[in-house]
Amino acid sequence: MNKLIILGNGFDLSHGLNTSYSHFIEYLINESIQYNDDIRRDLIDVGFLMSENQSFEFIKENYIRLATFPPSPTRSGRIIPKNKLFHMILKKFFEADWVDIEGYYFKVLTETEENQIDQLNIDFEIIKKYLLHYLKNRIATANLKLIPDYFDIFNENNPSRTLFLNFNYTETIKQYLKTLSLPKIDLINIHGNLLNIENPMVFGCGDDTDPEYIRLIDKNNNSYLRNLKRQQYNLASSYAKLLEFLNSVGEFEVYTLGHSLGLTDKTLLSEILNDNGLKRLKLFYYKDRDGYRNLNNNIRRIVTNDVFNNKILSFPNSIPIPQST
């Protein structure tokens, strides 16, 4: 049978790469503490910290207090937000110890008045620029230690054709493709390629069934649509290649490796999971039964067809995503 393998950020994390939004935010805070002038100018200016307080953990515990006080030197330090959206993201992150930057941008987008939308998009583009820089210059995959279990997963069931649908911005999967021996292999970097201007970085909102999404479309203001993924996919050929696979391959199975199956990619995932050719879905979960349950619950927000339930392998027939040792 043909196989479509969905690769999400958990695939990178399983190799020990610091590619989560939490890693990215911690990097930015630490760079500001260490007097990175660009970050202090564009995102956040952290200053006047006593030496024993110069840490991400101190900022995490004291962010609201330091960012609320008037921006004047004090013994405990001070923070001057330079990017309103990033300031909001940090507050959300420090409250919950987690934040989906794309999902949070969409929430703010739906609440933003037309006379402020251009500034919001400028703020978002600045964050996107630093994310691009972080991934290109801080995340190296050239000498990555490969995980043998992944070769077993890729070869499982002797697929006649394999499509790797890579939602990551990194080159991790390419390290496997150099030595992987399968009859026919395709790779689609659906969210872009950091090193290819013909396939630009896709970063934004991806649930065009959300009533708020539809409301933005109806506003007749293109500034609201700038970072909607559906519009961004048309700037490259990757989305068309995925449709070609779905329309021509016949029956196929899907493996999910490290993708949360969340709403930020709902539209694209829905096209795959609702395709009549899909015969089986195997979830590679994180750690334990709760990890499987989270994926299973997220799928219910994408596909509600009762017939689809019979295509998902149960927890006893699924395995955790491999991890580097």
Mean pLDDT value across the chain? 93
Tokens, residue 246: 């779905």
Among candidate residues 85, 114, 138, the one where a domain is terminated:
138
Give the mean pLDDT of 155-165.
96
pTM (2 decimals)? Answer: 0.94
Quick: pLDDT tens for 88-103.
Answer: 999 999 999 899 999 9
pLDDT of 227 reads 95
The last residue of one of the domains, among 86, 115, 138, is 138
Q: Which DSSP string corresponds to 287-318?
A: SSHHHHHHHHHHHHTT---HHHHTTBPPGGG-
Q: Are 112 and 120 in contact (CB under 8 A)?
A: yes
Residues 94 and 131 occupy one common structural domain: yes
**pLDDT above 60: residue 71:** no
Q: Is 295 inside any structural domain?
A: yes
**266 vs 71, more confident:** 266
**CATH code (residue 248):** 3.40.50
Contact residues for 93 (Cβ-Cβ < 8 A; gap 6+): 21, 22, 25, 99
Contact, 146 vs 315, CB < 8 A?
no
Same domain, 76 and 105: yes
| Residue that terminates a domain, selected from 138, 161, 178 | 138
pLDDT digits (tens, 9 = 90+) for 81-137: 999 999 999 999 999 989 999 999 999 999 999 999 999 999 999 999 999 999 999
Specify the number of domains making up the chain: 2
Quickly state the pLDDT bin for 72 (edges 50, 70, 90).
Answer: low
For residue 173, give its domain range: 2-18+144-200+236-317
